[in-house]
Chain A
């Protein structure tokens, strides 16, 4: 007997091809809704650290597309983990797996409904992992998710992680995006 998950999840893969528009590079890989099917998928696909630069994995609840424009994302934001180049070898895969386990195991107590999904961006200049939540105004939910996530990743107190609204990320580039919350 398989162990059912609370939610059905969809894994997406993005491969950068500059000759195509962003959405054309995004592929739905598969959906799953049991613990066993999650592991069958995870054990079968490439580790994030072995992906080519420019690639992303996204895991979202069924029905939510991994983009700002989706109705369930557009008022939301993300807890962002930025990694140095050195961390790819040591921590990228470990952090991403922990992120996935937080999502499928429903790790955020009363606030799991606020979680939309998670994204990992593999980039030469530095990798990023983020958990996306649905509403930047749900302060209690956002903060609880951020604190729990930081604990689960085993990040020390001195490391501060920030939460950014997608609306700000979409209109400002890189360093201009301000944190709405930090934990």
Chain B
């Protein structure tokens, strides 16, 4: 199956999102 992959940029952008 497919893996759920997140790059660094996306993860960092999620840091401060409400």
Q: Is A63 an interface residue (CB 8 A)?
A: no
Distance (whole angstroms) from the CB of B3 to the closest CB of chain A: 5
Residue among A5, A43, A98, A152 making CB contact with B4, cutoff 8 Å: A5
Residue among A35, A39, A43, A101 making CB contact with B8, cutoff 8 Å: A101
Interface string of A26-51 (1 = CB under 8 A from B): 00000000011001000100000000
Interface string of B1-18 (1 = CB under 8 A from A): 001111110111011000
- Please tell me if the beta carbons of A3 and B6 are within 8 angstroms of each other in the complex: yes
| CB-nearest residue of chain B to A108 | B5
A4 to B3: give the CA distance in the assembly, Å.
11
Size class of the A contact interface (CB-based, 8 Å): 10 to 19
Chain B residues within 8 Å of A6, by CB: 3-5
- Please tell me if the beta carbons of B3 and A39 are within 8 angstroms of each other in the complex: no
Chain A residues within 8 Å of B6, by CB: 3, 5, 35, 104-106
A35 to B13: give the CA distance in the assembly, Å.
10
Chain A residues within 8 Å of B12, by CB: 101
Chain B residues within 8 Å of A53, by CB: none
Which A residues have a C-beta under 8 Å from some C-beta of B? 3-6, 35-36, 39, 43, 98, 101, 104-107, 112, 152
Would you give 21 A-B contacts (Cβ < 8 Å), ordered by A? A3-B6, A4-B4, A5-B4, A6-B3, A35-B6, A35-B14, A43-B15, A98-B8, A101-B8, A101-B11, A101-B12, A104-B6, A104-B11, A105-B5, A105-B7, A105-B10, A106-B3, A106-B6, A107-B5, A107-B7, A112-B3
Given contact pairs A5-B6, A36-B14, A101-B11, a sample of 20 additional A-B residue pairs in the complex whose CB atoms are under 8 Å apart? A3-B14, A4-B4, A6-B3, A35-B11, A35-B14, A39-B14, A39-B15, A43-B15, A98-B8, A101-B12, A104-B6, A105-B6, A105-B7, A106-B3, A106-B5, A106-B6, A107-B5, A107-B7, A112-B3, A152-B8
